[in-house]
Structure 1
């Protein structure tokens, strides 16, 4: 997997009519990099940033590029190639329109889409399920019989089934039982490292980011206010959004100092 595969936001300004959300964001991550965490309070602009990275939201100024090509300009085959190489998984990633759809058919469809995007691989559906803490016996289950946490894990497995070069996760384990999150996070981290997938993880879950991400960027007031280890970021309380998060999570601050 080429280490040069990179997604970059440069001087990114984005928002909506009458509302400026992002103000000059510079962010980059590449295949082979350790996972990067994106932390910030609700309303900070994480969703707008991820939508801009995917090309679903057109920035007001600045640009998002994938290997030097502007993402918002990709069309046709190039767009399909991008969507196979760079996978976006939101906490609401799974819509179930066919009551007969199974976990196996969902994963096989993802692999088919990947092949059309030029991404062939030999990783089995069972291996992808294992990477998110689900056993092989889930393959014949229909999607509508799964719990919210199981659906969320299948969404992750579906993204991994394409063997992406880059992976963007938005609150990836919110519906998963807290007792299982640590185990799944460890397995997911090992899979990401083994496959060399550059990963950006946006989450409110401070402990999850600590487990998965050696480096954290903090988004507040439309800007990236801090970057470093989680303890380094939480220590920068001169920024009001960081101070407010630290005050709201005193146990986490003590734990990660």
Structure 2
């Protein structure tokens, strides 16, 4: 079996609250991501899933535990080394508009990380053309500003920027939650297409089990900073064993209003059972 690309081992993260009180956002979180694999991190707001991504990216410090990338401990990597690591680990954020500089053209946005890491201007411009083609945007998009694109197109630009340096892992932080359902489906298909052609691995952060089902090989379910269930995506998203995962599953909308009402009632029943327990 292929060795893990990313290993998170017993990770804990603390945040400082009012009066110097410490809030533990994550506790004893362990999982791994293999090359070419998508692991979905799923949970409601406040579950800690985004904090995991931020810890991997070095944006919040780990209080306990270890994060390793390709066998190397990156838990407390210095800023200079973290910049070098950005060639291998990239991120796609939730809101494609706020993550793109509104005053820069698409070509400038996509070529910036290339030029900073030593690419010649000519090679960077050629790479921009390749990236636009990969995310199915027209060549003339390079001369336009982010505001001239739809939300789905802006997310394609953000994905292209993340792919610019040919990373081995991309942290996807709710990358489709701001999009309508049809556009979501197109962007999820694009993520799958890119993975199949490049072998990149994804850590896919979302609150939506239906999104996880569409793209993930395995799933980690978080509740109040702890893992409550994990396993193969087809099993966790179809026959979840933990009550919290079952409620998440029931929360996903369905087209049939009768079935939707039944699921809502089932979710309330599960919540009452947990309160009694």
Q: TM-score range by the shorter chain?
A: 0.7 to 0.9
Corresponding residue to 1:233 among 221, 225, 236:
236
Deviation per residue, 1:169-191 (Å, 9 max, x gap): 01112233422332332232121
CA gap of 1:153–1:176, structure 2 versus 1, over 3 A, is farther
CA–CA distance in structure 2, aligned partners of residues 251 and 146 of structure 1: 30
Corresponding residue to 2:27 among 23, 26, 41:
23
CA–CA distance in structure 2, aligned partners of residues 107 and 54 of structure 1: 20
CA–CA distance in structure 1, aligned partners of residues 46 and 169 of structure 2: 25
Deviation per residue, 1:92-121 (Å, 9 max, x gap): 46445562x1001111112224547xxx99
3-state SS of 1:41 partner: coil
Are the counterparts in 2 of residues 54 and 71 from structure 1 also a CA contact under 8 Å? no
Cα distance, 1:144 vs structure 2: 3.3
Q: Show the counterpart of 1:130.
A: 133
Structure with greater Cα Rg: 2
CA gap of 1:155–1:67, structure 2 versus 1, over 3 A, is same
Residues 171-210 of structure 1 mapped to structure 2, 5 A cutoff: 171-210=174-213
Most deviating of 124-133 and 212-221 = 124-133
Cα distance, 1:23 vs structure 2: 1.2
Deviation per residue, 1:209-248 (Å, 9 max, x gap): 22211222211232222223334214234x3321321232
Corresponding residue to 1:223 among 217, 223, 226:
226
Residue ranges of structure 2 left out of the alignment (5+ in a row): 17-21, 260-277
CA–CA distance in structure 2, aligned partners of residues 149 and 183 of structure 1: 8
CA–CA distance in structure 1, aligned partners of residues 195 and 223 of structure 2: 27
Deviation per residue, 1:131-187 (Å, 9 max, x gap): 334222211111233333332221111001110011110111223342233233223
Residue ranges of structure 1 left out of the alignment (5+ in a row): none
Are the counterparts in 2 of residues 37 and 203 from structure 1 also a CA contact under 8 Å? yes
Are the counterparts in 1 of residues 39 and 204 from structure 2 also a CA contact under 8 Å? yes
If the length of structure 1 is used for normalisation, what is the TM-score?
0.83
Cα distance, 1:205 vs structure 2: 3.2
Q: Please report the RMSD computed on the Cα atoms of aligned residues, expressed in angstroms.
A: 2.8
